Amino acid sequence: MSSLQVKNFPDDLRAVLVRRARAQGVSLSAHVVAELRRAAAWPTMAEWLAQLEAEPPAGGSAQADGAAAVAEARQEYDPDERHQAP
């Protein structure tokens, strides 16, 4: 395992991390590693966009399906039905 040194680390940020580590009952080092793992688990915007471009659209075009549903609803719609007594 390697070490990481961070220069010019803000005191207020360190205080927040120390407080959170204590609240969880872990060392500052363990808490920072867990936070970095959590951050690294999420893709960057560029990685996420690349994944989206590489995947085929699920179930076809949602826009076309939506348009078809609206067209069908319009064909079935009877404006006089709204004004009839039940």
CA distance 43 to 45: 6
Average pLDDT, the chain: 86
Largest Cα separation within the chain, whole Å, is 77
pLDDT score for 84: 58
pLDDT score for 54: 87
Those residues whose C-beta lies under 8 Å from the C-beta of residue 26, and which sit 6 or more positions away, are 34
CA distance 62 to 48: 20
The 3-state DSSP class for residue 25 equals: coil
Domain ranges of the chain: 1-53
pLDDT score for 55: 80
Q: For 1-36, write each residue's pLDDT tens digit.
A: 899 999 999 999 999 999 999 999 999 999 999 999
User: pLDDT-derived band of residue 64, with 50, 70 and 90 as boundaries?
Assistant: low
pLDDT score for 61: 58
